């Protein structure tokens, strides 16, 4: 059963297309890597999946069982007011909000889950620190933890490892693998080909068109992949 299906999708801004002809399906439990050069429209696709108005043609079909409240999301860039007073804990907890429904406060179980996520990402000592006083990599981890708290069925990550140190990166990949093994679908934009070949079940390579979509095995043998990884030398 496909969780998300994109049919002949064209994405762009203000009527100008950026990518077209996207055809792919994401099934439950998949680990989809999205690869492509800068500016090829990867972030745009993530935004489209999350309901932004950048769909110019074609359609995105969500399975009925998947609600927006079950999706965790890490944007490529998060613009936060420079003077915003917020502690790490407050931000990570805010990820749990989509599981609250009409309840005004977080449940003990939600808080416990958030604490576990923070522990796994090494945020426990930072939990009472002010977000704006953290380093870039630490901030990225906080937003990652928030995304994980929001995840019930699907996790969408846009270049999550940019700015993380090697140790945290390794922990992060392991954490995502665990989550994926628990049945959560993962869609990740990344330039880290080593990790991609290790963990992914499917690939979507976006170029202006034609794009490639298929399983890991097929992708690694195709031309798009070879040219891309050779740095574009083999034209």
Partner 1 sequence: MIQTLTYYLSFSFIQYALIAGLLISLCASLLGVTLVLKRYSMIGDGLSHVAFGAMSVAAVCSLAPMAVTLPVTILAAVILLGMSSNGKIKGDAAIAMISVGALAIGYLLMNVFTVSSNVSGDVCTTLFGSTSILTLTKNDIILCSVLAAVVILVFILFYHKIFAVTFDENFANATGTNTKLYNNLIAVVTAVVIVLAMNLVGALLVSALIIFPALTAMRIFKSFKSVILGAAVISVTCTLIGLLIAILYGTPVGSTIVIADIVVFGIFSVIGKIKNR
Ligand X SMILES: Nc1ncnc2c1ncn2[C@@H]1O[C@H](COP(=O)(O)OP(=O)(O)O)[C@@H](O)[C@H]1O
**DSSP label at 171?**
H
Q: Which is nearer to ligand X, 56 or 123 (CB)?
A: 56
**DSSP label at 192?**
-
Interaction between residue 185 and ligand X (CB under 6 A): no
Give the range of 11-19, 86-94, 113-121, 165-173 binding partner 1 by CB under 8 A: 86-94
Q: Which is nearer to Mg ion, 35 or 225 (CB)?
A: 35
Dist CA 96 CA 128 (whole Å):
18
CB of 35 to ligand X, least distance (A): 10
Dist CA 165 CA 71 (whole Å):
26
Contacts to ligand X from residues 33-62, by CB under 6 A: 36, 38-44
Interaction between residue 146 and ligand X (CB under 6 A): no
Among 4, 56, 91, 176, binds partner 1 (CB under 8 A): 91
With b for 16 or more beta-carbon neighbours within 10 A and e for fewer, the 208-225 pattern comes to eeebbbbebeebbeeebb
Asked if 132 and 80 count as a contact pair (C-beta separation under 8 A), the reply is yes
Dist CA 203 CA 153 (whole Å):
19
Burial class from Cβ neighbours inside 10 Å (0-12, 13-18, 19+) for residue 163 reads: middle
Contacts to ligand X from residues 6-25, by CB under 6 A: 13, 18
What are residue 87's phi and psi, to 5 degrees?
A: -85, 160
| Residue 140 binds: one of Mg ion, ligand X, partner 1, none (C-beta under 5 to 8 A by kind) | none
Q: Which is nearer to partner 1, 146 or 205 (CB)?
A: 146
Enumerate binding residues for partner 1 (CB under 8 A): 50-51, 67-73, 75, 78, 80-81, 83-87, 89-91, 93-95, 97-98, 100, 104-106, 128, 130, 133, 146, 150
């Amino acid at each position: 059963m496909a969780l998300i299906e994109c049919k002949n999708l064209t994405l762009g801004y203000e009527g100008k297309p950026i990518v077209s002809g996207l055809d792919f399906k994401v099934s439950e439990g998949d680990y989809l890597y999205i690869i492509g050069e800068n500016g090829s429209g990867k972030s745009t696709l993530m935004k489209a999946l999350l309901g932004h108005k950048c769909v110019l043609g074609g359609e995105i079909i969500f399975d009925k069982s998947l609600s927006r409240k079950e999706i965790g999301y890490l944007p490529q860039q998060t613009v936060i007011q420079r003077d915003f007073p917020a502690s790490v804990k407050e931000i990570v907890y805010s990820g749990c909000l989509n599981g609250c429904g009409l309840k005004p406060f977080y449940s003990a179980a939600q808080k416990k889950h958030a604490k576990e996520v923070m522990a796994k990402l090494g945020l426990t000592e930072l939990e009472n620190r002010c977000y704006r006083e953290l380093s870039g990599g630490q901030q990225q981890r906080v937003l990652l933890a928030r995304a994980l708290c929001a995840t019930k069925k699907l996790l969408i990550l846009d270049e999550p490892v940019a700015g993380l140190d090697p140790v945290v990166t390794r922990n992060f990949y392991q954490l995502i693998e665990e989550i994926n093994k628990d049945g959560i679908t993962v869609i990740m934009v990344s330039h880290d080909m080593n990790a991609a070949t290790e963990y992914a079940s499917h690939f979507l390579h976006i170029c202006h068109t034609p794009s490639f979509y298929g399983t890991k095995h097929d992708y690694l043998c195709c031309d798009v992949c070879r040219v891309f990884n050779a740095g574009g030398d083999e034209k």
